[in-house]
Amino acid sequence: MTLHTGGAAGAGTWRLGDLTVNRIGFGAMRLTGSAPFDLGTPSDRERSIRVLRRAVELGVNHIDTAAFYFSSLRSANELINRALAPYPDDLLIATKVWPGRDPSGEWWWATPGQLRGQVEENLRQLGRDHLDLVNLRIPPSRQASSIAEHFGALAELRDAGLIRHLGVSNATLEHLAEARSIAPVVCVQNPYGIGAPPEAGAVLRACGEQDVAFVPFFTIAGEGREAGAGAGDGPEVLSVARAHGATAAQVRLAWTLRQGAHVLVIPGTRDPDHLAENVAAGALRLSDDEMARLSSHHRRSGADLGSC
């Protein structure tokens, strides 16, 4: 069969604070070059702009980006600005702070007092006077530490009107509880998909119980992470894809969307054809048997990943 789509609305909608978005969004990380964070070969500027405009035409109204998404000659935020400003009224642009990169590409991590500068840099690049949603991206070294100072600094910027809504990224259950004690949290943005470790599912479920959106990344890439999807699709994923005339990536997105109505996906690409395929995944309806087979593979893969 051929998988058709009515656009990004095919998977339904959810709320990010007082803003309603289609559950299939778009991640801007891959727009800038031959590999994310690569300062070598830049992307085709006009092609990236066409992909962004086509995404909005297909109903995408949730775009995820960051000021540190840049490569030689290309910045994701400035591509978004060039492609989409003046912005549609229903378009939500989410960004993230705490990590940063200097012009040479070297990473650095902001102090609480430096977060305002990171927020203002996103505002400048995007050409906006406020940010719809800012996620506090927690570094691996802080997984067992308090985030109160950093999240409190963002809460102050929210009170000042520079930010509309707040979220956390790479967060544990403890981080979510701590952040919610400081200011409202509208989303958690964590890696998740088939093969994710068991603790990732605990955060997803907690978000559903607390009416917080869960926004997974690396849903398609899995263990490939920033490098992209590899050869990790098992026989269950490929069998379900063949049965639907779909791609493995579409099956991974459809399975993830079925984990809860509060789950939003943000697949990214520089390829217009892949964009259309990703959006079409919202129309893919997996049977209960297929979900069970994929979930069995998920549990086995998660156990393997958890031991790494």
CATH at residue 143: 3.20.20.100
User: Which residue do the tokens 């992209």 mark?
Assistant: 228
Domain-located, residue 285: yes
- Please, which residues have CB within 8 angstroms of residue 293's CB and are 6 or more apart in sequence? 236, 239, 240
Range of the domain at 248: 8-306
Q: How much is the pLDDT for 223?
A: 53
pLDDT at 3 over 90: no
Q: Strand ranges (DSSP E) for the chain?
A: 13-16, 19-22, 26-27, 62-64, 70-71, 74-75, 92-97, 99-101, 107-109, 131-137, 163-169, 187-189, 213-214
The amino acid at 144: A
Domain-located, residue 45: yes
Q: What are the contacts of 144-153 at 24+ separation with CB within 8 A?
A: 146/178, 147/175, 147/178, 147/179, 148/178, 148/182, 149/112, 150/98, 150/110, 150/112, 150/115, 151/178, 151/179, 151/182, 151/183, 152/112, 152/182, 152/183, 153/112, 153/113, 153/115, 153/116
How many domains, in total, are found in the chain? 1
| Of residues 106, 38, 100, 91, the one with CA closest to residue 66 | 100
Domain-located, residue 1: no
Q: How much is the pLDDT for 297?
A: 63
pLDDT at 219 over 70: yes
pLDDT category at 110 given cuts 50, 70, 90 is very high
User: Which residue do the tokens 């709320």 mark?
Assistant: 15
Domain-located, residue 3: no
Q: What is the mean pLDDT of residues 179-191?
A: 98
* Residue 105 φ/ψ region, left for φ over 0, alpha for ψ in the -120 to 50 degree band, beta for the rest: left
pLDDT at 298 over 70: no
Q: Strand, helix or coil at 205? A: helix
pLDDT at 125 over 60: yes
How many CB atoms lie under 10 A from the CB of residue 235? 9
* 7: its two tokens: 């656009």
pLDDT at 305 over 50: no
* Residue 91 φ/ψ region, left for φ over 0, alpha for ψ in the -120 to 50 degree band, beta for the rest: beta
Asked if residues 37 and 49 have their Cβ atoms less than 8 Å apart, the reply is no
Lowest average pLDDT, out of 70-74, 125-129, 149-153, 296-300, goes to 296-300
Domain-located, residue 293: yes
Active site residues: 69
pLDDT category at 218 given cuts 50, 70, 90 is confident
Percentage of the chain beyond pLDDT 70 is 89
pLDDT category at 197 given cuts 50, 70, 90 is confident
The model's pLDDT over 5-38, given as tens digits with 9 standing for 90+, comes to 568 999 999 999 999 999 999 999 999 986 667 7
How many CB atoms lie under 10 A from the CB of residue 49? 17
Q: How much is the pLDDT for 307?
A: 28
What angle (nearest 5°) sits at the alpha carbon of residue 190, between those of residues 148 and 47?
A: 120
Q: Strand, helix or coil at 104? A: coil
Q: What is the mean pLDDT of residues 63-90?
A: 96
Asked if residues 153 and 112 have their Cβ atoms less than 8 Å apart, the reply is yes
Domain-located, residue 235: yes
Asked if residues 270 and 48 have their Cβ atoms less than 8 Å apart, the reply is yes
Q: How much is the pLDDT for 301?
A: 54
DSSP state of 222: G
The overall average pLDDT reported for the chain is 90
CA distance 3 to 280: 7
Q: How much is the pLDDT for 227?
A: 45
pLDDT at 173 over 90: yes
CA distance 100 to 96: 10
The model's pLDDT over 251-272, given as tens digits with 9 standing for 90+, comes to 999 999 999 999 999 999 999 9
Task: Calculate the dihedral angle through the C-alpha atoms of 126, 22, 234, 188, rounding to the nearest 10 degrees.
Answer: 60
| Of residues 27, 17, 113, 102, the one with CA closest to residue 68 | 102
The model's pLDDT over 221-258, given as tens digits with 9 standing for 90+, comes to 745 444 445 556 788 899 999 999 999 999 999 999 99
β-pairing, 74-75 vs 70-71, is antiparallel
Domain-located, residue 2: no
Lowest average pLDDT, out of 84-98, 180-194, 216-230, goes to 216-230
Which pTM value belongs to this model? 0.91
The amino acid at 127: G
Q: What is the mean pLDDT of residues 54-68?
A: 98
CA distance 161 to 38: 34
